[in-house]
Amino acid sequence: MTGAGSLVVAVAKNPILPETKEIFWFLIAFIILFVVMWKKALPGVKKTMNERSEKIRGNLEEAEQVRNEAQDVLKQYKRQLADAREESNRIIEEARETAENLRRDMLQRAETQVAELRERSREEIKAAQERATSELQSRVGTMAIELAEKVVEQSLNRDANLRLIERYIEQVGSRS
Amino acid sequence: MAMLGALSFPPIEELLEWKDMFGIPGFNKVSLLCVLSSLIVIVFFLMAGRRRELVPRGVQNIAESTVEFVENSIIMQTMGPQGLYWLPFLLTMFTFLLVANLFELVPVIQFPATARMAIPFPLAMFVFVLFIAMGVKRQGVGGYLKATLVPPGVPKGLYVLVVPIELFSTFLMRPFSLAVRLFANMLAGHLLLVTFALLSAALFTKSIMIVLLPLPVAMLVAVTVFELLVAVLQAFIFTILAAVYIGEAMNPQH
């Protein structure tokens, strides 16, 4: 009987065979853990994780959008810069043309004025010359008459005549 | 001989027959460890869920890494995205087994609850029932049996040989090997730790034998580190095999 009893005990204590009471407590612990994990703990952790993923995704999308906007603005600025450069070139070119025209005009006007001035002074010189000549002629005439008179009055000697004539010529020479 | 006299292993009955605790009939150390494992995981994950930091730290970081590990390294590798439905079950299984295994290395406790068949066996039976149920649900009884017992491409003449082998390996060996792998690994690890701990204790004497003490102590340290690896690895293996079996029943082509 004792042998049979110890055999039964030995079979019951086979480590490969699970104990019912331990299975019972394991099932309780595991099922409670599963239910709490499924309904409460995991959703809480997952919610935080999903919120973070959403936030990161949102931030990435926002960053992408901001980048695109910045690129658009850059493109716009570049275009504006190019336009401005073109405009400034046009303005400079225009100014250059205006200046060239102005220079040409002024030069032409100055040349005309110079020519007019030259013409006028030539005419004035000519007039003065003519006036002087005619005055000289009239004075020579007058003096010739005066001289003739004096010659007639003092026609005594040849030396006196010669002196008169020389004096006259000297007078005329000093006047002209 | 003096050393051998001092070396007294506890009787093997202590590993097989556990005393009741707290005066509750049927509630022994293994039951306590099961409840403790469950409580630790629950408290840990509830604390982690309460923290809502953008950059996770501490408890939240560990909990989130564990969830991501089960999702990416177990479910996505074996079942694909549709297997994410099984996350609560597989995460529960992994975390429970991990804590129960790690009790092996916790001072004072120093026993893995999974070294008792009462834990691997019902878990393996859960997996067994679940993968058969999933197979039948997805493919019908006939379809599932055909997909399981007759691998594609096998000539009809070989059915006589292949069908019994597949029947045996899928419906008998799978739950058995799943349970025994975990149980035997953890029990063996526990026995190794006990052996080297007892040897070290026995050599810690005033006799000349103390010169041998560093050997079992070094082994004890090495085995402790090794058992840490085994505890994590066995929890992972059990869970990933459960995922493989359930995933295979859901998608026979995989």
Q: Which amino acid is at B44?
A: F
Q: Report residue B1's pLDDT band, with 50, 70 and 90 as the boundaries.
A: very low
| pLDDT score of A11 more than 70 | no
pLDDT of residue A151: 72
**What gap in Å lies between CA B242 and CA B178, rounded to an integer?**
8
**A:19-58 residues touching chain B, CB 8 A cutoff:** 19, 21-30, 32-34, 36-38, 40-49, 51-52, 55
Q: Does B69 touch chain A (CB under 8 A)?
A: no
Average pLDDT of B38-62?
84
ipTM over 0.90: no
User: How confident is the model over B80-117, as pLDDT tens digits?
Assistant: 888 888 999 999 999 999 999 999 889 888 889 888 88
Domains held by chain B: number: 1
Question: How does DSSP assign B112-177, residue by residue?
Answer: -GGGSTTTHHHHHHHHHHHHHHHHHHHHHHHHHHHHHHS-TT--GGGHHHHHHHHHHIIIIIHHHH
B56 contacts on A by Cβ (under 8 Å):
48
Model confidence pLDDT, tens digit, residues A22-40: 888 899 999 999 999 899 8
CA distances from B78 to A175, B74, B246, B248 (A): 138, 6, 9, 8
Three-state DSSP class for residue A157: coil
Cα separations in angstroms, B214 against B72, B203, B224: 43, 9, 15
Give me the domain span that covers residue B82. Answer: 2-250
* Paired tokens of B132: 């058969």
pLDDT in tens, A74-112: 999 999 999 999 999 999 999 999 999 999 999 999 999
- Of residues B42, B45, B116, nearest to A22 (C-beta): B116
pLDDT per residue over A148-168, tens digit each? Answer: 877 777 656 777 778 877 887
Return mean pLDDT, chain B.
Answer: 86
Q: Is B228 exposed, middle or buried (0-12, 13-18, 19+ CB in 10 A)?
A: middle
Contact call for B117 and A46, based on CB within 8 A: no
Is the Cβ pair A40, B87 closer than 8 Å? no
Sorted by where each begins, the domain ranges of chain A are 19-175
First to last CA, chain B: 60
- The pLDDT tens digits for B121-166 are 999 999 999 999 988 988 888 888 888 888 788 888 888 888 888 8
